[in-house]
Amino acid sequence: MEATRLNESVNKPGNKSEEKTNSVNNAFASHYAKSLFLAVLGLIVLTFIGTRMFTHVDWNLYGYMVGTLVFLGGFFYRFIAWGERPPTKIIIKKGIKLLFRKSTPKTSVEHLATYRFIWNRGIYRWTQHLFIGWGVIVSCMVTFPLVFGWMYFTMEEGGYYTIVAMGMNLMTVPADGIIAFFSYNALNFSAIAVIIGVCMALYRRLKNMQARADQNFLYDFMPLYLLLFISITGLILTFMNVFLHGAGHYVMSLIHQYSVIITLIYLPFGKLAHIPFRPLSVFARNYREHYGEKSMKECKVCGSEFVSTEQSSDVIDVLGQNDLEFNMKDGFNLAELCLPCRRKYRIARFSGFATHEVPIKEANQNAKG
C-alpha cells in the first residue's frame, strides 16, 4: 500500500510553475508559432510606446513594416530549425551559461564590431567586411526605428527639429546644424560604405581563382547584387530630392522600397542569414576558450592537443544521438583524432597502409585563413 502511494506521488505533475509553463507552451502549435507571436507582440508594444499610442505613424513606410514582419517569420523558421539540431543545442545551452565571462565583451567587439577574426585572411577581405558590415548595421539602426516609429522628427518654429525617441523628446537641433546633417544623411553614408564593400567583394570573386571555383550565382552573387541595388537606389532618391527638386521621387521610392522588401524576405534563406546569426559566434568562442582552459584532448595517434576534452565528448555524444558510430577497431573513436590523423586514418582504411601512424605532419597543418 505504501509503495503504491509512493508511486502515485512520484508520478504526480510538477510544481505550479512547471504547470504554468506547460500551459503556456500548449497554447501554441509549435516553438516557431510562440517565438513569432512574442516577437510581433513585442514590436507592437514598442511601436505603441514609440509612436505615442500610434499618433505618429508614417504610412509611407508601411511596406518596410510588412517586409520586416515577413522577415521575422522566415528568420524564426530558419533559426528554430537550426537550433533544434543536437550540436546547436549544446552550443546555445552552454553558451548562455558562459555569457558572463570576463572575456565576453572583448570577444563581442572582435566578432561583431572590428571583425578581427577576418584579419588573418588578409587586409583586403577585412576591409570589405568592415564596409559591408557597418554599412548594413548603420542602415538597420536608422531604418527600423523610423519604420516602427521608435524615432522621428518634429518641426519647430525658427528652423529647429526635435528628435523624438521612444515617445520622448530627445533633443532640439538646428535644421542646418551638424547633428541634423548627419541624421539626414546617415543612410547615404551607410549606402556609400556598402557600395564600396560590395564592389570590393565582387572584384575579388571575379578575379580570385579559388573564389571563382567555389561560388555560384544565386548563393554568392545574388546577395551582393541586392545590397548594391538597394544602396544605389537609395542614393538616387537623395539625388532626386536635392538636385531635381523631387522629380521622379515617387517611382524611385517604390523601386527602392520593393528592393528592400524582397531582400528582407530573401535574407533568412540565403547567405545573408549569417548577419542575424553572427552574435552566436560569441557563444562558440566562449565555449572553445572556457573548456580549452580546463583540459585539452590529446590525439590518440600523435598525442597533440587539438580540442578541449569537453568538445571531444560532446561530439561523440552528438554522433550517438544521430545513430552515427565511429568507434574504430583500434579502441578509439574517430572523433578522438586530430584532423590530419583523421584524414590519414581514413586513407589507411581504403589503402590498407597505416598512414595514420606516419609521424610526418601535413605541410599546411597550422595554416591560417
pLDDT digit string (tens) for the chain, length 369 residues: 444 444 444 444 455 555 555 666 677 778 888 888 888 899 899 989 888 888 888 888 888 988 998 999 999 888 888 888 888 889 899 999 998 999 999 999 999 999 988 988 889 999 999 999 999 999 999 999 989 989 888 887 778 888 888 888 888 888 888 988 898 899 999 999 999 999 999 998 888 777 777 788 888 889 999 999 999 999 999 999 888 888 888 899 999 999 999 999 998 888 888 888 888 899 999 999 999 999 998 888 788 888 898 988 888 888 888 777 777 777 778 788 888 888 777 777 666 666 556 665 555 454 444
Q: How far apart are CA 245 and CA 243, in angstroms?
A: 6
C-alpha cell at 65: 513594416
Closest CA to 223 of 274, 258, 281: 274
Q: How far apart are CA 130 and CA 137, in angstroms?
A: 10
Question: 10 Å Cβ neighbour count for 141?
Answer: 12
Q: How far apart are CA 294 and CA 296, in angstroms?
A: 7
| Residue 178: partners with Cβ closer than 8 Å, 6 or more residues away | none
pTM, entire model? 0.80
Beta bridge partners of 165: 151, 168
Question: 10 Å Cβ neighbour count for 196?
Answer: 17
Given a contact cutoff of 8 angstroms between Cβ atoms, the answer to whether 193 and 134 are in contact is yes
Closest CA to 291 of 277, 274, 310, 273: 310
Closest CA to 185 of 259, 145, 235, 247: 235
Q: How far apart are CA 299 and CA 304, in angstroms?
A: 5
What stretches of the chain adopt beta strand conformation (E)? 151-156, 160-165, 168-174, 296-298, 305-308
| 11: exposed, middle or buried (Cβ count in 10 Å: 0-12, 13-18, 19+) | exposed
